[in-house]
Amino acid sequence: MLNTIYGFFYGFGISLLALLAYFLREWRDLVLYSNLLLLGFICLLWFLPESPRWLASQGRLGEAEEILFYLGRRNGVTPVTYDMVSLRGMSNVASTNDVQKGSVLDGFRTREMRRRMLILMFIWMVSTMSYFGLTIGSSNLGGNMYITVALSGLIELPAKVIGGMISTRFGRRIAVTSCMMLCGVCCLAVIFLPRMQDGDMSSTQTTIAMIAKMGVSAAFNIIFLYTGELLPTVIRSSTFSFCSMTGRIAGIIGPLIASTLGDNIVFLIYGTTCIIAGIVSIYLPETLNQPLPDTVADVENQALQLTEKYKMKEN
């Protein structure tokens, strides 16, 4: 639910940017006023607590217990005692003497982690490239460019809801696969649909392109949650950031493709890569209602258990 709400603001932000661009026709003014809004995020440093799970994985049990105690009181749990939130003595919690620290390189040292990282990196690259490419390219879909860009943001709202419902009911893997495949098929369909006589995109093509934007925006939203659930706690921050970084690099390429190549080639690239990403996502494990891995060893053990489970089914 929180992931869906977060996605709403992404869509609202695109529509708000289109509204600002309508009144601020000078691009320097648009960059200035849109980025001034980001200064408010500095205040979050004083209001957002650190993750208790991460603190516990780093052996900082006292800080983790303080935050759990605070959260219990804020959530109306009464009475809250420190014994209720004590983490000491638990078998799955690290002590200060056996803290496991790692880096992004640990995401590539073992077989299962390496497989997950490579698949996630590819999905991030394709989804980010297609998402920003379709968002910025929506100004070329015909009609008033401010309206089409605003609509491309508003169309994300139902996409986030539908994607969230699919991921909650049927699982993250099915949600990512189906949404990426939807985007890919729609992008390829745009190529074969007839254009208007003046060469602009027809209303049918625009509608199909918007459906493609719905698919990739839903997948883009789910992949944030799915990536965090697939990666272990001790290196989740660094590996998640690395996946996001590869996606942002592709996000730079997406708008360049949309502005330099012909529409058919652009939709061909988006369509084929999204279909491939949807296919490879099938090889990721499902994380719905599954315990989160804390260490790289947990990830490898999960893969071993799944392998043994499939072997038992075959026999």
Q: Per residue in 92-125, pLDDT tens?
A: 555 544 555 678 888 899 999 999 999 999 999 9
pLDDT of residue 56: 78
pLDDT of residue 97: 47
pLDDT of residue 18: 87
Q: What are phi and psi of 103, to 5 degrees?
A: -130, 180
**Cβ 226 vs Cβ 172: under 8 Å:** yes
> What is the C-alpha separation between 150 and 153, in angstroms, rounded?
5
pLDDT of residue 58: 75
pLDDT of residue 92: 55
Residues of the chain falling short of pLDDT 50: 96-97
pLDDT of residue 270: 93
pLDDT of residue 83: 66
- Residues near 140 by beta carbon (within 8 Å), at least 6 away in sequence: 201, 258, 263
pLDDT of residue 126: 95
pLDDT of residue 189: 94
Q: Per residue in 252-307, pLDDT tens?
A: 887 787 778 878 888 999 999 999 999 999 999 999 988 888 888 888 888 888 77
